[in-house]
Amino acid sequence: MKDIQIFLKYFQRDMNWEISDSNYQETKMSMLNNFMLLSTEVSEIAEEFRSIFNETSDLANEGNLCEDEAFDIAKEKYKVNIGKELSDCIAYLVKFANYFNIDLDESFYTKMDEIRYRKNRDN
C-alpha cells in the first residue's frame, strides 16, 4: 500500500489533481468534488456488474450454456474493466488518505484487527 500511496502522491501532483489546500472554502469544495468523483467511480463498478449479469442472461438464454457457465464467461469478459474501475476508486481513496497524511498500511490492518476482534461482527 505504501508504494501506491507514494506513486499516487507524485502522480496526482504531476496531473495537478491534488486536493486544493490554499484556504478552507477552496479545500472544502475540492474535497466535495473529489468525493463526488469517487462516488461516480463506485457507480461505474455497479455498471460493470450489471453488464456481467445482463451478459450472463443473454448467453444463458441463447440456450447452449447453463447460467454458471455463462456467468464464468461474462466475468472473464468484464474482468479488465472491473479492474480499471476498482483502480479508479483506489486512486480517490488514496488521494484522501494522502491529504490527511494517513498511513494506509497501518490504518488498514488496525481496522481489520478491530473488525476481527469485536463482539458484534454484523457491522
Residue number, nearest CB to Mg ion: 88
| The only residue of 18, 48, 55, 88 in contact with Mg ion, by rule CB under 5 A | 88
Q: DSSP letter string over the chain?
A: -HHHHHHHHHHHHHTT-SPP-SSHHHHHHHHHHHHHHHHHHHHHHHHHHHHHHHHHHHHHHTSSS-HHHHHHHHHHHHHHHHHHHHHHHHHHHHHHHHHTT--HHHHHHHHHHHHHH-S-TT-
- Residues 57-86 within binding reach of Mg ion (CB under 5 A): 85
For the bound state, the minimum distance from the C-beta of residue 84 to Mg ion, rounded and expressed in Å, comes to 6
**Residue nearer to Mg ion on the CB measure, 2 or 83:** 83
By the criterion CB under 5 A, which residues form the site for Mg ion?
A: 41, 44, 85, 88
